[in-house]
Amino acid sequence: MEEYIDKIDLEARRKSAEAIRKVFLKLIDQIKKGEEPRLVIKKRTLANTIYDPAKKMLLLGESKAVRRFFDEGEVKKFMQTVLMASIIYDALVNNEYPTIRDLYYRGKHTIPKLSESDKEINTWDEQDESDAVLRDVEVLTNKLREEMLILSKEKGKVVGDMRIRSGRDVIDLSKMGHGAYAIESTADLIEFLDVNAEFVLVVEKDAVFQQLHRIGFWRKMKCLLVTSAGQPDRATRRFVRRLNEELKLPVYVVADSDPYGFYIYSVFKIGSITLSYESERLATPSARFLGVMMSDVFGDDPPIEELQTSILGNTVDRKALKKRYVEVLRKYGYKKSLDKKPFLSEEERKMFIIRAKQQDIARAIELVGTSVVKDILGFEPKISVKGKGERVKRHPGYPWFRDPRWIKEISIFLYTLAKLEIEAMASKGLKFLAFEYLPSKIETGDYID
């Protein structure tokens, strides 16, 4: 049977194999010169992760680690990196499509002992270890694993009036029935043929994505509808970035109204700390947070009298907080009038809101920082995350959440200790969510960018 080899895949293989080959040629050159073999890799650490306010994304800094073959403390990492690169190179030149799990198994073995007194050493024990080595190879070669045709589980989906080419096939995303196109791992190998859409709507929840698809939201609103099905995978982030960058489509993100939903949005927009070396190819700095906002639930005048103080570990003076709310917003540069009306009535709020837990407050502290939360409440909350048995440590917060609009949303969250899932808006009525709530927010510019 004739072997099928896609030309686009072949070109991707050639470029990635060449990138790995250059690394090995440098090692060979060092050995020929009688030098110690060494690898120089940018450090994938929090200390070497920086936020670039001009590019509006997380980037890897310039601090580097040198892995030396004759350094007892570095030789294992040196060996792991070379081993992983060689496995990937072999897969590339042999037209294979390994998964991340395959790489773990292909490289996992015990190194033979040289003497009876030696300890047995494994190349790696758990997949977390081999995954970290894979990320090092990405940094070392400046090639994403997707560019090296390493496959992972498909997670994100898209539907809309668009035609794409994947391999030899042309796929019409407007003719997927009640289903949707699963965004492939190698999102860069998708060719955009034509599109009839004015924006992209990314929905955190797959269930809400399905509801909007069934009701014809993307047809009526002339958009591409995407779901990340929770925390976004790399393929979905890359696909959304390409839609924005190459097709110039504005991107709006809809997530739960809680600190975890806010963070999922920031991963689309800014990137993630763990994968900061990929941000320039995965993040979409112009992405807008459409909702659900805390101010959508409560308006700009949150009912502080509903605040439950026990979870904060302190007694709260509610009258003082009412005054503090305005003072804090002014302090951090909020200049708009506080006259936004909620989309939910008081009765609907009672039906739909969920009470926040300590881990939700801990995530809020992580987003804006301990000092900002102290400004908002007038004291530092005593929070302990269940299961960890320790008080949440002080956190400097993330610079991109120091925007006064985010401080307003976090303030309302802390004053009400409430959160709301996207599904609650659909529970009020799917037509309300699809054809009132979402369109009105886009039309009026009620989003955070």
Calpha distance 151→153 (Å, rounded) = 7
Token readout for 226 is 């995407």
Separation CA 435–CA 216 (nearest Å)? 10
Query: Which residues are registered as beta bridge partners of 223?
Result: 199
* Residue 71 CB partners (closer than 8 Å, separation 6+): 78
Task: Assign 3-state DSSP to the chain and report helix, strand, coil percentages, each to 5.
Answer: 45, 15, 35
Contact, 44 vs 272, CB < 8 A?
Answer: no
Considering 105, 277, 325, 437, which one is annotated as catalytic? Answer: 105
Do the beta carbons of residue 434 and residue 217 sit within 8 Å?
Answer: yes
Distances in Å between the Cα of 88 and the Cα atoms of 77, 107, 143, 386 are 17, 10, 12, 41
49-60 per-residue burial string, b: 16 or more CB within 10 A, e: under 16: bebeeeebbbbb
Label each residue of 49-94 as H, E or C.
Answer: EEEECCCCEEEECCCEEEEECCCCCCHHHHHHHHHHHHHHHHHHHC
**How far is it between the farthest Cα atoms of the chain?**
79
Question: Buried b vs exposed e over 305-329: b needs ≥16 C-beta within 10 Å?
Answer: ebbeeebbeeebeeeebeebbeebb
Distance CA 321, CA 314 (A): 13
Is residue 105 flagged as an active site residue? yes
Triad 179, 223, 149: Cα angle to 5°: 60
* Beta-bridge partner residues of 121: 111
CA distance 159 to 225: 5
The candidate with the shortest Cα–Cα distance to 395, out of 380, 414, 410, 376, is 380
Phi, psi of 197 (to 5 degrees): -150, 155
Contact 145, 138 (CB under 8 A): yes
Q: What is the DSSP letter of 400?
A: G
Instruction: Indicate which residues carry an active-site annotation.
Output: 105
